Amino acid sequence: MKLKPCPFCGSVAYLTDELPCDPKRPWQVFCRKDDCQATIDEPQATEDVAIELWNNRPGEKAARVEALEKARGTLEARHRLTKEVGTLYPIRESAVAVGIIDELIRAENAN
């Protein structure tokens, strides 16, 4: 798993297990920029957990869900308009697209 850049300054982050801390939880992630000093709250037992905590960006997730919900609203409006006009293929197509967007929203919220 790859580390994302620092969420505060955009600099490169690094993962280490070489700090003097609890040997059962040696993994820590830090921002490389000296004056930033961003880190995860506490050392973790595995590399994967430390990276997952560092890479977790709730704001990014909220923005993705918001964009999906906006797209869903647009498709639903188009679906209603198409239904009023009376053509069938676009109705089926837009209903499938709304279903796909719903699945994407559920997947985002499950993480």
Distances (CA, A) of 73 to 60, 61, 94, 98: 20, 18, 11, 9
Q: For residue 28, what are the β-bridge partners?
A: 16
Q: At residue 71, what is the residue type?
A: A
Structural domain for 74, as ranges: 59-110
**pLDDT surpasses 80 at 8:** yes
Helix (H) or strand (E) holding 52: helix 47-55
Say which range, 28-32, 65-69, 75-79, has the weakest mean pLDDT: 75-79
Q: Are residues 101 and 63 in the same domain?
A: yes
Residue bearing tokens 């801390």: 21
83 & 96 share domain? yes
Q: Are residues 45 and 72 in the same domain?
A: no
Residues 76 and 96 in one domain: yes
Per the model's pLDDT, the better-predicted residue between 104 and 94 turns out to be 104
Q: Note whether 68 and 106 are same-domain residues.
A: yes
Q: Would you state the pLDDT for residue 111?
A: 66
6 part of a folded domain: no
Q: Could you give the number of structural domains in the chain?
A: 2
Inside any domain, residue 93: yes
* Predicted structure pTM score: 0.56
Round the average pLDDT of the chain to a whole number and report it: 84
Q: Is 3 among the domain residues?
A: no
∠ CA 5-2-50, rounded to 5° = 85
- What dihedral angle (degrees, nearest 10) is formed by the CA atoms of 83, 106, 5, 27? -170
Give a yes or no: residue 46 inside a domain.
yes
- More confident site: 108 or 84: 108
Percent of the chain with pLDDT over 70: 87
Shared domain for 45 and 71, answered yes or no, is no
